[in-house]
Amino acid sequence: MEQAMRNFFLFLSKNKPMTKLAKKYGLRFGAGRFVAGSSIQQAVEVIRELNSQNLVVTIDYLGEFVDNEREANEMALECVEAIRAIGRENLKSQLSLKMTSMGLDISEEIVMKNMRLILDEATKQNVFVTIDMEDYSRCGKTIDIFMRLKSEYDNIGTVIQAYLYRTEKDIDDLNAYSPNLRLVKGAYKESPEVAFPDKKDVDDNFKKIIKTHLLNGNYTAIATHDDEIIEYTKRLVEEYKIPRDQFEFQMLFGIRVERQHELVKEGYKMRVYVPYGTDWYGYFMRRLAERPANVAFVLKGVMKK
């Protein structure tokens, strides 16, 4: 049942007619609770409110799988505008983005040009940028580009997915760069040839890479709504006396809001992933597909609205 539900939502995430319908009718399918509007102005208001609650943010202008240079350049300019808004409004926010939105599927030259444009502005505004991880077929390219950019910029990190078999080696290979990494379970449909199909194996690997990355002395963002992973991290940092300024928890906007506030009250840094923009449909479907528990959080949130 769990796998069938996951496959169903992942299928919907790539359904082009549904994507067009979603764009036409806006955030009316329940996604409005989990996407901070369609414009940067709307997103700024959400970030300001979250900051007032002692929550820090990473903002993401939604878009992916861009297949032409013009659109990739437009996406890059939107990211630059978001960075300027963060600086102008003095918001406690970072920026997240996907390589496919920057032109990864077109050419590496376009990606590097757009990323340098974004990172130059981010450096001016003192904004940290995280490269989101996408499906397995783009994982290697994304890590390679991250390593190239990390040699030029300090204000950049990326994401590592616990459900991939390759992840443990990626953590080891990246350690030479002392990277700031967001660790996640993973949300794309992958073959059992490249990813753990069983949740327990994913959770075990998640715990393993959290421990490895923290004990390597690197900054670690633990992005999860799973209490088991959260409590494991708490015990780990207590046991090894890892300072609280070396890690943070991250959750998605609109999901487990009470838990987010609990972690803040306990003295942990809590960062909220805040997406915005018109291209929200694929993101929303993947959140529903990620784990059945996420579907429950979403349905509960919609009923409370």
Please list the active-site residues. 132, 182
Question: At 304, which amino acid appears?
Answer: K
CA distances from 224 to 264, 272, 304 (A): 15, 11, 22
Supply 48's token pair: 């300001």
Dist. CA 228–CA 243, nearest whole Å: 21
User: For residue 113, which of 132, 126, 99 has the smallest C-alpha distance?
Assistant: 99
Residue with token string 């340098």: 116
DSSP string, 256-275: SHHHHHHHHHTT--EEEEEE
Contact predicate 130/182, CB 8 Å:
yes
Q: How many Cα neighbours within 13 Å face the side chain of 249? A: 29
H helices of the chain, in order, are: 2-13, 16-25, 40-52, 69-88, 108-125, 139-150, 167-174, 199-215, 227-239, 257-265, 281-290, 292-304
Backbone angles phi, psi at 63, to 5 degrees: 165, 145
Contact predicate 95/79, CB 8 Å:
yes
Supply 160's token pair: 């590592």
CA distances from 210 to 77, 226, 259 (A): 34, 14, 20
Parallel, antiparallel, or unpaired: how do β-strands 93-98 and 56-61 relate?
parallel
